[in-house]
Structure 1
Amino acid sequence: MLGQTEQIPIRLLGVPRWNASAQAYFPAKGLVLIAALLLAPGETLTRQAAAALLWENASQERALGNLRQLLLRLQQASGTEEPAILVNKNDIVAGPLAHRSDLAQFLLSIRSGEMEQQREGLLAVSGELLENIDVSGEQFYLWLVSERHRLKSLFFATFAQLLEDTTRFGGRAALSIASIGDRALRLEPDREETYRNLMSAYARTGDHEASERVFESLGRWLQSEGRPHEPATLALRRRLKGYVADNDSFNLPVEQPSRVKPRVAFVQPTSFDGKPATVVVRAFIEDVANTLVRYRTFTVLSSYSSFAATSDGNGELYKSLRADYQVRTTVFDDMRLSIVLLEESSGEIVWSLEVVLNERQIHAAFRLLSKQVAAALAERVERRQIENDRHHDSSAYLHFLSGQQLIRGKCDLPLLRRARAEFRKALDLDPSMAVARARIAQTLQLEWLMLGGSDPHLLHRANAEAKVSTEIDPALGIGHWMCAVVALYQRHFDISAEKFIEAEALAPNSADLLIQHADALAHFGQQEEAWTRFQSAIDLNPLAPDIYWWAGASIAMKREEYSTAVELCSRMENDESALRILTVSHSLNGDLEMAKQYGRRLQENYPEMTARQLSLLSPNRDPAVNEKFYQAYRLAGIK
């Protein structure tokens, strides 16, 4: 790693030091010469230019003589295997050892465009160029001031861009923010723009407390200096406070049931032909029952007794359980489980769910699904106890339906915002409408995507809405589906995969969910499974809206079937949302003329986004996929 003294033989940023050998003393002018070479065009200076910079007040003959002695000292100190400088007739060039200095590594990292290299480059900066160096001569002073200003400008421009790129998707990056922020504040402690950069970065990750701490730290500094905040800082804080207020509005009061605790009995699971289920299924149902014992609003009878009671032929033992609800499990082929919740007094099916426990999924999904089924059962039993006291406004449902009609799989920004307004109206009338919360999350996530992924606050709001939706109704598949989608775009791949499993268990035949899960699997690197789910979704929705064809084209592109990707895009009513797919697919398919046409349209929509930023919009687990997309954008003429 950069920034570690033992691996940086020459330090030119901060107090200059020569660590390349055990030599006790090294001439300061030698370090100045190395810095000047690294900062010169082509890393080359003529002997005359170097001598004039270092010995401005000496005659040319004496200055050149001093330079010859200095070059000899440098060559002796660094050796011949890895010299600090190279002398070529009248020119002096930076050598391999100079390229291992902190200054060279910083300049190299800035040019690389790679976030990790840039972060390491910033961490290598321990101060200004050649701190505490003896300044003699006007020419040297002007050169030093100019180069310090240039390097600072490079540092802070890279610092601001790196913070934005690191937190663009709202993921957690607190350690990275803190480390490079510390370097920036050490370099220029009174630069208020640095504090604003840090406040915004923490807010983009959702850590508003850290953002506020940065503001308070700035306030203490300004107070000690007797200065007020800049207007831009106060305006930024007001805007960030607005995001906090939005998130606070998601904390809903929890209804507290006050009725007598109902008793829930799990009957022994059976196959559809009436035979006892396998040991695995029995263990799964027992796990669900055991998970439910933590709930205080109802009582779960021991599965040992309830299983034994249901095997009693005349039913007398079961009657002795005095159950209010019965959970019945039927097993079909391929380990497909149908779980229903029955009210004993009426025989009414209150709730039902299908779960698939196949060998491929069981290791990862067994515990997860048991928790989800338990949570859904608990929510339904609790809701059953209080729903008689709850008033639902029918007009709220009408607003919800209006919102659904506006989106209907279309990728249109004005329609998304109108739909969100309808869902908000539904929530104003009925705050417990979980599905409206989930749909708001969907509109926010789609808006984030259509705006080029530049506003992580939209993702945070989408995540908050989706989580509240699952808290209101844990059995609602779309809530878990939206949690999964947001986690995917925040690069939390494992969380996303788990949430998609939960959502699919709750809504196994939802075409909308299948298409989103298919898209996610492609991002996880499971292209064949993704394509299978895409085909299943189209089978359920053959006259599909644009978003289905967009997802299918994205999957085909990742399978390197570029002609198929282009053909699927042609089925869309409006190809604006597919411009990235079309640009990359044509480019990688060798049709550069078409790629450049779509690339120009893409740049018109996102004029400030580079090829690198466009490639990073796709949340792929494998970075090599993004690198391929980056090269495709470059071939299409995007810089």
Structure 2
Amino acid sequence: MSASNITIIRLLGRPSAMLDGQAIALPEKGYFLLAMLAMAPQAKLDRETVRRLLWPSDEAEKRANSLRQLLARISKALGTHAGALVRTENETLQLALPDLECDLVTLMGAAAAVSFEQPLFHGELLESAETPTGGAEDWLSDARRKITDRRVTLIDGLLADASIRHSPSLPRLAERLVELDTAHEGAARALMNHHARRGDLTAARQVFARCRDQLRADFSTAPTPATMQLARELGIVDMRPATTADKPQSPLERIIPAQPRVVILPPETIMQDPLVQRLGRVLLEDVTIGLSHQRVFKIIAAHTSFELANRGHGAASPLSNLQFDYSVYVTIQGDGEDITATCRLTRVATGEVLWAIDLPLDVKRMRMSLGSLARRIAASLTDVIERHELTTSLDDVDPSAYRLYLEGKRHLAGTDLQQLRQARKWFKSAVKRCDTFSPAHAGVSRSLGMEWLVRGMKDHELLDIANQSARAARSLDPGSGRAYRELGFVSLYRRRFDESLDLFEEAQNLNPSDADVLIDYSDALSHAGDLDKALDLGLAAFKLNPLPPDYYYWILGSTHYVRQEYEKAIETLDPVKDQHATSRLLAASQAMAGNAVSARKYAAVVRENFPDFRSEDIRYFVPDRDPGHSELLIEGLQRAGLS
């Protein structure tokens, strides 16, 4: 290939290709193929790996034919005067290096000589690209992590070069490193030195404070001695010796944990009957498991609390010294068949009992009775802790990620767009304070997915971002049913029905008593055509959460509608009939039930709040496996007067 025919491929940021200074259009999967090859050892992959990542078909011949067609389309886009981008040899594909320029190859090259002036430190790999398969999605997430690690390594190396200390590029390099790794102390020290040399100690102090606060929020730790020493040398921290009054008992005491910490204390069993004591321990462990399913508390396991008691750190010891926020006491007492379980929740800092309950145990059906009690106690404790956390004004103290998350959860109860966006703001604040807090990432995903649904959007941009947040939630906490729930939601609206049902099944396995999981699983089953099971799960969700968020009514009402139970749909939607998001379903339900006046009223609400909506749009954003179900909804909307 001559110099004038060099092909330039950009894969960082929005992918593009240029030949001889002119933009050329490559197929979207072509960019995926080029990125996969650029990330592979020796820029080479076997054909079958590529086929399976880029095409979901189970038939090998179909995948092989699709790959041949893709290579032909890439060749056609380049024309006859350019060399090939991909070399083929038997069962392997290889990037045609060095006959093309590719930013990703340059970035990942072991001996890459880069400077900050190059655009290699910016742009996400295959920005906004639609992943064709689940495997491609996994590959893309992993590749993006590798690129972030590579950028951190390269910038680290550049900052270590003494020649850059006085370069105007230094602050931009260090700031970019902080964007990639928010708690990177090397970048903070470089910026502190830079500002101090310029005489701007205020800016240096701000950099130090930002780094210190980020370390506290993310890792519950303090800056390293090297960072503290530099701060002292620059005079940006208080050099006075700490007094007895202001000296903390430990370096972590001032740190705000991401989540409340709950200790389950050993049973205070009045009766010394061995059977009663064993029952107490079983119930204690079941309550521990129930609380840990919520994934928003740091639970100290039952066996650990026994160890603490044995070491002299039981109920008589100041639990606040052990960094606990709440303590749970479970007691089993009684005689014969008259046995009672007592549970109480205490705020450790004040000793205040926030909640207490006495519940009888059925000795004849002990196993079932214990399981039911454990679920009830765990659900009640979760509710009490959330309410207590929300009673403290966010203006009074520096809020934890958990409290910011709860604020978002409170706004997420509705389907109003402003509420959804406000919820997302809180969830993002929680992520900023602690980016390893899985529930906050799941909350961001939920707010994005619900906005996409409420707006009836055709493009998948919001869904793609929701999917990234859901995957982050699962990566941070593989045992989170909420993370699987959000992944199932996205898969449903991408019309990957079987994948969605598998994800919801896993979510239910992880959180069997989570009403939010059950209602969304119900929605997925309804769209997949399993209407009986969908209705059963929907009703079960209402039993677990009798005062639910707005979308519960929407989902159960939709199931009744598809079952052609229009009066039941209207009755189900009555509590949320004034919400704009439900106006479409209410218009269709009223029309199909023969209530023309009411149907027209709700149709007018749709026109006012969603002026771009057309009934035909249902085919694009309502993911029904059976097209007849979508047609039924379109018919109802058209009868209501919505064209």
Normalising by the residue count of structure 1, what TM-score does the alignment of the two structures yield? 0.41
- The structure whose Rg is larger is 1
Which structure has more RCO (C-alpha within 8 Å, separation ≥ 6)? Answer: 1
